[in-house]
Chains A and B, each alone.
Chain A
Amino acid sequence: MFNLSVVNIIPLAYLDLINALAEAYGCGPNNMSVPLYTNDELTHYGCHSFWRIDDYAEFSSDELRNAFISQLDAELQAPMQAAISNLYERVIVDGDPQQNWQAALAELGLTEHNAEKTDIDSLIES
């Protein structure tokens, strides 16, 4: 049962590393895909996903992450360790995804910018 609502957020500087980590774990490309802003400045990326409890325990296992890091080239090990330590995780069993997402953004003081608008919304705002 995929009933674990998980929000992950990463500072911009570690985006590529965390996406590479997720891809190496078989999660596919570009998992952290939502740009997030601090005072109108792009500072983080995030994602929301549902997991099975056992799968997420494996994904977040320090032992497995350390094993993964030890296989990397030496110059990548410290950056990847730093990226993982900066990975924000908010996990709720049977949680509502939007409530979890909004709570995570509030905790970190982040906002989404839906910069693109349809014609009607642009007209209303003008």
Chain B
Amino acid sequence: MLKLGAPGIRGRNTFYMGPSSKKAFDPASLFKNGEQGFLLDPSDLSTMFQDAAGTVPVTAVGQPLGLVLDKSKGLVMGSELIITLDLTTWATVNSPEVTKNTFTTAATGGVRLDGVLQNGTWYKCIVELDSTVGVQLYGGQQVVTLPGTGRRTITLYYEASAAGFYFRNSGAGTTTIHSLSIESIAGNHAYQTTSASRPILRKNAVTGANYLEFDGSDDFLQIANIDFSATDKMSLFTGVRKNASSVRILCELSSNMNSNSGSFYLTAPETGQGQYGFKARANANQQTSMTALTQNTSIDDICVLSASSDLSADRNTIRRNGLLSAISYDLGTGNFGNYPLFIGRRSGTSLSFNGHIYSLICVGRLTTDSETKALEKEIAKLTGVSLNV
């Protein structure tokens, strides 16, 4: 197993605190025992791309975000899946002529790698190819069109689907694949295939920290199914600025937590009174009293939020800048579920978040008091707020 980045340098497991801060608490340590969850760090440019397939890196603030890699699993790479490239062993589409590393089509069509990739697993692919017609790659969260013809090398990230991994000539022509590497890349990565719905990377001029700006209309990111079914406990951390007077979804596990057992949401705000809300439940019917609410805030508010749920103990909590609000109510029985997670918009369709997210960390366990306080302190540095301690 290989890890990206060299040890001893500012690598991908480092949580960036801005240019002048010291590393005090490593959020990746929350996941040291293999806990399920995700860690999105907008200040780490090496984990972000402008398109969902990860072909265009984010190089500066002001650029859109189509893919944000999750750092909770250390971005660990799996073993190489293409030991020997032999396209004659691949499935064919529309009867191409195939040799070991070329395929020729009379119209659209090509070759497809079946039975090797696992559904729902992310892969990093590096391919060097030469095409007379132009090629598209199918099989992931987005069809990737390689513009033009000629020889080029491309790196992309994709989440495997049932369609396999399909090199498709866009018309009559020949494509030669000179080299191909496919390795899994661990993590629950967040992506957005629709240009108009991509948040923008911005920088806080005071703290130097980066954040994701959501426009309040249609921006959101999505993480494909996260399997939290082994746990009934959850902890969630974020630095946030909200600016809305009606309910907006900051993040939500499942398409709608009110209709899905074993899910949660974090709202910013929850109500017109400016409260933030955190609600998680097992299989009990929805009840207002399940929602932990902060004190009222101004419409335009920046803060550190941490939330937690212990379903078996019937307890949801939310802390704004370290100030605890908690509720105890019958949350039902059972664990959290295996659902997609939406960031910034309910199911990608409504309650669009208007504001900024400085970091977003979710782990499938209750954090200790010392972990909670240490992480809140680090996120406070990003947002520039003071904690109530």
- Contact residues in A for B352 (Cβ distance below 8 Å): 34
Verify A97–B197 contact, CB threshold 8 A.
no
- Contact residues in A for B286 (Cβ distance below 8 Å): 119
Verify B256–A48 contact, CB threshold 8 A.
no
Task: Say whether, besides A2-B63, A33-B197, A28 and B267 are in contact (CB < 8 Å).
Answer: no
Verify A117–B195 contact, CB threshold 8 A.
no
Cβ of B359 < 8 Å from any Cβ of A?
no
Verify B351–A116 contact, CB threshold 8 A.
yes
Verify A124–B271 contact, CB threshold 8 A.
yes
CB-defined interface of A85-98 with B at 8 Å, one 1/0 digit per residue?
A: 00000000000011
Cβ of A118 < 8 Å from any Cβ of B?
yes
Cβ of B313 < 8 Å from any Cβ of A?
no
Measured in the bound complex, the distance between the Cα atoms of B243 and A98 in whole Å is: 10
Measured in the bound complex, the distance between the Cα atoms of B293 and A50 in whole Å is: 33
In the complex, which residues 83-126 of chain A have their Cβ closer than 8 Å to any Cβ of chain B? 97-98, 101, 114-121, 123-124
Cβ of B148 < 8 Å from any Cβ of A?
no
Closest A residue to B201 by beta carbon equals A2
Name the one of B198, B217, B256 contacting A34, with C-beta atoms under 8 angstroms.
B217
Verify B215–A27 contact, CB threshold 8 A.
no
CB-defined interface of B218-250 with A at 8 Å, one 1/0 digit per residue?
A: 110000000000000000000000010011000
Verify A48–B196 contact, CB threshold 8 A.
yes
Please, how many residues of chain B have a CB less than 8 angstroms from a CB on the other chain? 44
Measured in the bound complex, the distance between the Cα atoms of B348 and A47 in whole Å is: 13
- Contact residues in B for A33 (Cβ distance below 8 Å): 194, 196-197, 218, 348-349
Cβ of B370 < 8 Å from any Cβ of A?
no
Verify A101–B216 contact, CB threshold 8 A.
yes
Please, how many residues of chain A have a CB less than 8 angstroms from a CB on the other chain? 32
Verify A120–B64 contact, CB threshold 8 A.
no
Task: Say whether, besides A28-B52, A30-B194, A31-B195, A119 and B62 are in contact (CB < 8 Å).
Answer: no
Task: Say whether, besides A50-B200, A119-B288, A97 and B216 are in contact (CB < 8 Å).
Answer: yes
Cβ of A3 < 8 Å from any Cβ of B?
yes
CB-defined interface of A39-71 with B at 8 Å, one 1/0 digit per residue?
A: 000000011111000000000000000000000
Name the one of B196, B272, B277, B350 contacting A116, with C-beta atoms under 8 angstroms.
B350
Instruction: Classify the secondary structure of B's interface with A.
Output: loop
A2 to chain B, nearest CB (A): 6
Task: Say whether, besides A3-B62, A119-B287, A31 and B196 are in contact (CB < 8 Å).
Answer: yes
Measured in the bound complex, the distance between the Cα atoms of B197 and A50 in whole Å is: 9
- Contact residues in B for A124 (Cβ distance below 8 Å): 271-272
A49 to chain B, nearest CB (A): 4
B108 to chain A, nearest CB (A): 15
Task: Say whether, besides A97-B216, A118-B270, A49 and B277 are in contact (CB < 8 Å).
Answer: no
Measured in the bound complex, the distance between the Cα atoms of B350 and A121 in whole Å is: 15
- Contact residues in B for A1 (Cβ distance below 8 Å): 62
Cβ of B145 < 8 Å from any Cβ of A?
yes
- Contact residues in B for A117 (Cβ distance below 8 Å): 247
Measured in the bound complex, the distance between the Cα atoms of B254 and A125 in whole Å is: 25
Measured in the bound complex, the distance between the Cα atoms of B195 and A121 in whole Å is: 31
For B64, B215, B348, which residue has the most chain A Cβ atoms within 10 angstroms?
B215
List, sorted by A's number, 7 A–B pairs whose CB atoms are closer than 8 Å.
Answer: A8-B196, A26-B195, A28-B195, A29-B193, A97-B215, A121-B247, A121-B271
Supplied contacts A28-B194, A120-B271, 12 more A-B pairs, CB within 8 Å: A1-B62, A26-B145, A49-B198, A114-B351, A116-B346, A118-B247, A118-B270, A120-B288, A120-B291, A121-B270, A121-B272, A124-B272
Which residues of A are in contact with B by a Cβ distance under 8 Å?
Answer: 1-3, 8, 22, 26-34, 46-50, 97-98, 101, 114-121, 123-124
Minimum-distance CB pairs A-B, first 7: A97-B215, A49-B196, A27-B195, A47-B196, A48-B217, A119-B288, A31-B196
